Amino acid sequence: MPTISKNAELQTVITTFEVTPGTCQDILDELNEAYQNVISKQPGFIAAGLHVNDAQTRIANYSQWIRREDFQAMLRTPEMRERNRRINALCKGFEPVMYDVAGVFG
């Protein structure tokens, strides 16, 4: 399970995908399969979640890693490079951004 804590020593990555209602489910299928079979098995992976807006025009992916280098190494694997090319072809674009937790409420 993801842990959202200002004091946690981990790397948070939020990736947003700009999609269309016609490709949203295809991209979700690709992402689910990638997490189940590849990403979740990579060193340093902690947890992830996928979120879709009501209009099915945006997907947000929240993932946590022990270190930023773990996330970067996963992206460089041949399998993920190929998967990301397929995902990129299905969407208008996507952008992974690394974040530090600045505050937690609730």
Q: What is the pLDDT of residues 25-48, one digit of tens each?
A: 999 999 999 999 999 999 999 999
For 59, counting Cβ atoms within 10 Å of its Cβ (0-12 exposed, 13-18 middle, 19+ buried), the class is buried
User: Over the stretch 52-103, which tens digit does the pLDDT of each residue have?
Assistant: 999 999 999 999 999 999 999 999 999 999 999 999 999 999 999 999 999 9
Question: Looking at residue 32, what is its pLDDT?
Answer: 97
Token representation of residue 9: 């020593």
- Report the pLDDT value the prediction gives residue 4, as an integer from 0 to 100: 84
Residue 44's pLDDT is: 97
> What's the gap between Cα 26 and its chain centre?
15
b/e per residue, 40-52, with b = 16+ CB within 10 A?
eeeebbbebebeb
List of domains in the chain: 11-99 (3.30.70.100)
CB 48 within 8 A of CB 40: yes
Q: Please give the structure tokens belonging to residue 59.
A: 């997907």
Question: What's the pLDDT at 6?
Answer: 86
The residue type of 64 is Q
DSSP designation for 7: T
Is residue 5 very low, low, confident or very high in pLDDT (cuts 50, 70, 90)? confident
36: tokens are 């189940």
